[in-house]
Amino acid sequence: MASNNQGGNRGNSSNRGFAAMDEQKQREIASKGGRAAHQSGNAHEFNSNEAREAGRKGGESVSQDRQHMSEIGRKGGEASHGGGGNNR
């Protein structure tokens, strides 16, 4: 994806075509493609059940990372309890 390349490979001659374009130009082209797909009826649009299933799968995936979940819980506790002190 273009957003992962922060311009670090600009001198690399293996980047050709789309990959060699600047990020703004890539976004313009991708946006046009997305609009065209929706206009022609070829773009997939999630219904509520598909969206629910995708969210469930994403939640399962992220919850496997115990360190990440611990970090989320700690941040939530700090936000709700005033910075992690015993302010209950």
pLDDT digits (tens, 9 = 90+) for 36-79: 988 888 888 888 999 999 999 988 888 888 998 999 999 999 99
In percent, the amount of the chain with pLDDT more than 90 equals 33
Query: What does 11-76 look like in DSSP terms, one character per residue?
Result: T-TT--GGGGS-HHHHHHHHHHHHHHHHHHT-S----HHHHHHHHHHHHHHHHT-HHHHHHHHHHH
- Six token digits for residue 76: 């939530």
What is residue 74's predicted lDDT score, i.e. its pLDDT?
92
pTM for the model stands at: 0.36
Lowest mean pLDDT among 4-8, 23-27, 42-46: 4-8
Residue 32 has pLDDT above 90, yes or no: yes
